[in-house]
Amino acid sequence: MPIFPFSEMDPIQHPGPPPKRSEVVIIGGGIIGVTTALFLAERNIPVTLLEKGRVAAEQSSRNWGWIRKQGRDADELPIVIEAFRLWRQLAEECGEDIGLDQTGVTYLANSDKDMADFEEFMKIAAIHGLDTRLLD
């Protein structure tokens, strides 16, 4: 199955009017709206997702995939590490290729300050068990 099983040429189809009642209504079928709806539904909380166009076909289809650990503020790292765990879990549960590629990123130090910042981040990375290397 392709990652995005639709094209811009396909007509938008809606299943009908939304339900008259719902515990939670989410407006927007991007990655945040869809995953929020999924997590609520998994907890048996009635949820309605409203999207004006195609689910995951707008900004989420073009920019949702850059979950980086490098260069983050130390307070953000636990959130990013949990996001990685959730993406891997979602991929396993779906049993489909959801387009999750775990690669790396390389930054170049253009100044002594950049290098000092990278060296400082190495300490933060070690605390969080990140696979981070500083090349000279």
Shared domain for 72 and 135, answered yes or no, is: yes
pLDDT digits (tens, 9 = 90+) for 34-49: 989 999 999 999 999 9
Shared domain for 57 and 108, answered yes or no, is: no
Query: What Cα–Cα distance (Å) separates residue 46 from each residue in 21, 26, 39?
Result: 9, 11, 11
Structural domain for 84, as ranges: 68-136
Asked whether the beta carbons of 30 and 58 are under 8 A apart, the reply is yes
| DSSP type of residue 84 | H
Q: Does some domain include residue 14?
A: no
Q: Does some domain include residue 55?
A: yes
Shared domain for 43 and 81, answered yes or no, is: no
Q: Does some domain include residue 102?
A: yes
Grade residue 1 by pLDDT with cuts at 50, 70 and 90. Answer: very low
Rounded distance between C-alpha atoms, residue 58 and residue 103, angstroms: 24
More confident residue, 8 or 22: 22
CB atoms within 10 A of CB 30: 19
Q: How far apart are the first and last CA of the chain?
A: 43
Shared domain for 91 and 37, answered yes or no, is: no
Shared domain for 95 and 135, answered yes or no, is: yes
Q: Does some domain include residue 44?
A: yes
Q: What is the pLDDT of residue 75?
A: 94
Beta bridge partners of 50: 27
Q: Does some domain include residue 7?
A: no
pLDDT digits (tens, 9 = 90+) for 55-112: 877 776 666 557 788 888 999 999 999 988 988 898 898 888 877 888 888 899 999 9
Three-class SS of residue 47? Answer: strand
Q: Does some domain include residue 49?
A: yes
